[in-house]
Structure 1
Amino acid sequence: DPTSFDYAVTRRHLEILRTATDAKGRHLNVITLEGPSTIRQSYANSDFAAGYINFYLCNDAVIAPEFGDKRTDRNTRDILQEQFTGREIIQLN
């Protein structure tokens, strides 16, 4: 969302990651996750940056946030499942 307070810095970080390489000079495979269009009212304030990148990998699961936006919550779950095959995707609100 270009009107978001963190839009510019997020775009800059994405560009840095897209041009970064690992120790062997290979480019990183950057997967983007669209942020939710709507969030639960309990989260609503001007400086809350809703996003899915704070997921947590543990043993056989991936723990990720859920914001109540059915489309982006589902899309995120699908992308994480594709990237972390064999792990259960658990979204918490």
Structure 2
Amino acid sequence: MVAQFPDVVVDLSAQDTNVFGTIGEVAAALTRAGYASAASQYTRNAVMCADYGEVMLLTLATVSVAGEGPGVASPYRACPCPTHEDEPTPAQLAAG
């Protein structure tokens, strides 16, 4: 998945899975990179998402996400909740 703003990198690996924290981190990164309008649009779209998985998919479509961890989802694991923790990450899939 190619992000709309690939030059904006957000590391969510150390963050908990609080959806508002994720939205804030992404919006702040977009603003710091000079995309204040995109930050506002991302925030509006994110708060309309039905669940955390949708927010993560929106995030991946908007910015580059670095790291893997509890706050990071992937197209292969859109929901970071414990119910889905046994699903492979992109790194695990690449390693075979």
Same fold (TM over 0.5): no
**TM, length-normalised to structure 1:** 0.27
Higher relative contact order (CA 8 A, sep 6+): 2
> Per residue, is there more helix in 1 or in 2?
2
Q: Which has the larger radius of gyration?
A: 1
